[in-house]
Amino acid sequence: MRARDGIFWTAGAAAALAAAAWSARRSARRLPAPPGAPRLVVVGGGFAGLAAARALAGRPVQVVIVDRRNHHLFQPLLYQVATAALSPGDIAAPIRHVLRSQRNAEVILGDVAQVDLPARLLQLEDGSRVPYDLLIVATGATHSYFGHVEWAPLAPGLKTLEDALEIRRRIFTAYERAERERDPEVRRALLTFVVVGAGPTGVELAGALAEIARYTLASDFRHISPESARVVLLEAAPRVLPAYPQRLSAAARSQLERLGVEVRTGAQVTGIDGGGVDVGGERIPSRTVLWGAGVAASPLARTLGVPLDRSGRVEVRPDLSVPGHPEVFVAGDLARLVQDGAAVPGLAPAAIQEGRHAARNALRRARGRRTLRFRYRDRGTLATIGRAAAVGRVRGVELTGLPAWLAWLGVHIAFLIGFRNRVAVLLEWAWSYATFNRGARLITETAEQRRFADELRGPPPPDAPGPVTGAEARG
């Protein structure tokens, strides 16, 4: 046998073995749980919960995933739905469809109201109960208004598709109302957009708002100049993206200001109402205020009766289990674990790693084996600001501008669930980059939302001029 033939034979054999291994793994995913297998319930279908469920494919365990919504949401791109760059279906996938081939998994659509640890039961809002042998809680986080719950309806945050659609409605309704508004002061308030909080969500929202004003809507209106819209980003900390290194924070601020965003650091918001925002003694008139300043853990954590931190997160053990209840694990934004002197960050990669690790440890617990410590592997963070503008740190290398933006694109495409979503998002981004267009500029408004908007505006003063009508505009 010639050496070349031997090489080809070896390569072919390796390829055949790899194909057989892949086929075996795929077949294993389709195996149902054996009779008497332990029942492992996962609460939450986000990054951590879905990663946990998928990690148990083909394992001798009955997996039940419970979520109040029927879809997994790719939250890092939620701001692009809020700013009309993507449609909701581009970043969401039905949980049942994702797990359709995993025969040992089932899905329950329900809202968990309470966890009964002694009885090993989940109490759902509709009164039904879900028993478990092992439990992974991964219900994530919600908005935090730092004790000012009255600000919530005035300054929506961004955690769900409903939040994104409401923000999109407010943004584009503001331009429509400004087009017909005669009073210059009211028009300026309508065209002033305030974003509270300069973390990744706030920075991304502010950059997208500036691009909408200066590019997307520049030629769409006849009585206003969208380019004159004012975008104000408020941050109480001394710099934007405070969790990022100083150099990246400075680069992010510079890129935001080049887009026309008015960045204010050390700006503590003291009041929000229907007419604007108070920052200390200064008043910023605005009819659209968006919140990106803080998060709090899901309230379900309080029903566990275990130690929580100031944000309501569960203080988990090194193996991600709950103190005193080794059969219960917590993963994702709901868990607080200190590693190397700092808490594991509330990011999608960390949640995915925690979900997989919790699943492995739950399986080890079911088999009577010792669980393993969790170790977060930080592969970097990225935040986009606008067209070819971003900052990030990938494997210790700091990136800014176009390289960071390209890295951000690649990472987010790779992490999206489903081939269809990856293709759809890639095509939308290519079209938007080439044309500056945002194709999902739809205003959807319910009667309740219209009533609330009317209450915020209040009755017009007796001598106020009416809105510009179509006939007046033509005449």
- 158-208 per-position pLDDT tens digit: 999 999 999 999 999 999 999 999 999 999 999 999 999 999 999 999 999
pLDDT attached to residue 469: 47
Q: Given pLDDT bands bounded at 50, 70 and 90, which one contains residue 425?
A: confident
Q: Given pLDDT bands bounded at 50, 70 and 90, which one contains residue 7?
A: very low
Angle between helices 348-366 and 47-55 (to 10 degrees): 40
The model's pLDDT over 251-282, given as tens digits with 9 standing for 90+, comes to: 999 999 999 999 999 999 999 999 999 998 89
Q: What share of the chain in percent tops pLDDT 70?
A: 86
| pLDDT, mean of residues 205-217 | 94
Structure tokens at 64: 């039940």
Map tokens 């939620």 to a residue: 78
Instruction: Delimit the domains of the chain by residue range.
Output: 28-68+110-143+296-366, 149-293+380-457
| pLDDT, mean of residues 338-350 | 90
Measured CA to CA in angstroms, residue 148 lies from 234, 273, 276, 296 at distances of: 17, 12, 15, 13
pLDDT attached to residue 143: 87
- Which positions ≥6 away from 59 have C-beta within 8 Å? 104, 363
Q: Given pLDDT bands bounded at 50, 70 and 90, which one contains residue 462?
A: low
DSSP H or E stretch at residue 355: helix 348-366
Catalytic annotation present for 262: no
Beta strand pairing status for 380-386 and 389-394?
antiparallel
pLDDT attached to residue 340: 86
Q: Given pLDDT bands bounded at 50, 70 and 90, which one contains residue 1?
A: very low
pLDDT attached to residue 473: 40
| pLDDT, mean of residues 113-123 | 96
* 14 against 324, higher pLDDT: 324
The model's pLDDT over 31-41, given as tens digits with 9 standing for 90+, comes to: 777 888 999 99
Is pLDDT at 126 greater than 90 in this prediction? Answer: yes
Q: What share of the chain in percent tops pLDDT 90?
A: 69
pLDDT attached to residue 166: 95
Would you say the CATH fold of 149-293+380-457 matches that of 28-68+110-143+296-366? yes
| pLDDT, mean of residues 428-454 | 69
pLDDT attached to residue 470: 45
pLDDT attached to residue 392: 92
Q: Within a 13 Å sphere around the CA of 408, how many CA atoms are in the beta-carbon half? A: 26
Map tokens 């998928």 to a residue: 54
Measured CA to CA in angstroms, residue 245 lies from 196, 200, 240, 399 at distances of: 21, 13, 10, 11
Q: Given pLDDT bands bounded at 50, 70 and 90, which one contains residue 463?
A: low
Residue in 204, 211, 235, 428 annotated catalytic: 204
| pLDDT, mean of residues 433-461 | 63
Is pLDDT at 114 greater than 90 in this prediction? Answer: yes
Architecture of domain 28-68+110-143+296-366: 3-Layer(bba) Sandwich (3.50)
Is pLDDT at 475 greater than 70 in this prediction? Answer: no
Whether 82 contacts 207, CB under 8 Å = no
Which of 92-101, 172-181, 271-280, 466-475 is the least confident region?
466-475
Angle between helices 401-415 and 419-435 (to 10 degrees): 150
Query: Is 149-293+380-457 assigned to CATH 3.50.50.100?
Result: yes
* 414 against 78, higher pLDDT: 78
The model's pLDDT over 280-310, given as tens digits with 9 standing for 90+, comes to: 889 999 999 999 998 889 999 999 999 999 8
Q: Point out which residues pair with 383 in neighbouring strands.
A: 391
pLDDT mean across residues, the chain: 87
| pTM for the structure as a whole | 0.85
Is pLDDT at 337 greater than 50 in this prediction? Answer: yes
| pLDDT, mean of residues 373-394 | 90
Q: Within a 13 Å sphere around the CA of 74, how many CA atoms are in the beta-carbon half? A: 22
Q: Given pLDDT bands bounded at 50, 70 and 90, which one contains residue 422?
A: confident
Phi first, then psi: what are they for 127, rounded to 5°?
A: 95, -10
pLDDT attached to residue 95: 96
pLDDT attached to residue 289: 97
Q: Given pLDDT bands bounded at 50, 70 and 90, which one contains residue 29?
A: low
Is pLDDT at 25 greater than 80 in this prediction? Answer: no
